[in-house]
Amino acid sequence: MMPEEKEWTEVEKRKFDDAMYEFGKEFSQIRKKYLPKKSVKQLVEYYYKHYKKSEDYKTWKKEGCEVLNNSGIPDFHNEVCEECQQPGDLVCCATCPAAYHPPCVPRRFRHKTLESPARPGDPDP
């Protein structure tokens, strides 16, 4: 059995789930802080082969996507609003590709602090 296929312990699975709430799919950060004995390849394989099929994943998608921010990670977020399907200045989810215009943010997310994306020429905060 290759090391990538080695069974994950319950402790490792819990750490992975916790890390998903903090870092989303930033596997190198997950490895650095939570699972240094796992390779990034092992983390990615676990995510796609096991985690995405789990109840933990469903919970993370539901709860984790409530953390909206202006992450600005290129090529990660949708380029159109999840609600109205139009492009524009979007607020991005910290844990999934969803993006919204501020007025289109679903009600269940509105209690979160939202920031509009910075525009060229805006002063630094």
Q: What would the pLDDT profile of 62-78 be if each residue is shown by its tens digit?
A: 765 555 444 444 446 67
Q: Which of 33, 19, 100 shows the shortest CA–CA distance to 64? A: 19
**In this structure, are residues 54 and 87 in contact, taking their beta carbons and an 8 Å threshold?**
no
What's the pLDDT score for residue 112? 53
Q: What is the pLDDT of residue 46?
A: 94
Handedness of CA 80, 120, 91, 34 (dihedral sign): positive
Region 57-63: what's the mean pLDDT? 76
Distances in Å between the alpha carbon of 47 and those of 13, 107, 111?
Answer: 10, 29, 29
**Of 14-23, 26-35, 41-50, 65-74, which gets the smallest average pLDDT?**
65-74
Measured at the CA of 34, the angle between CA 12 and CA 7, to 5 degrees, comes to 25
Domains of the chain, first to last: 3-64 (1.10.10.60), 66-117 (3.30.40.10)
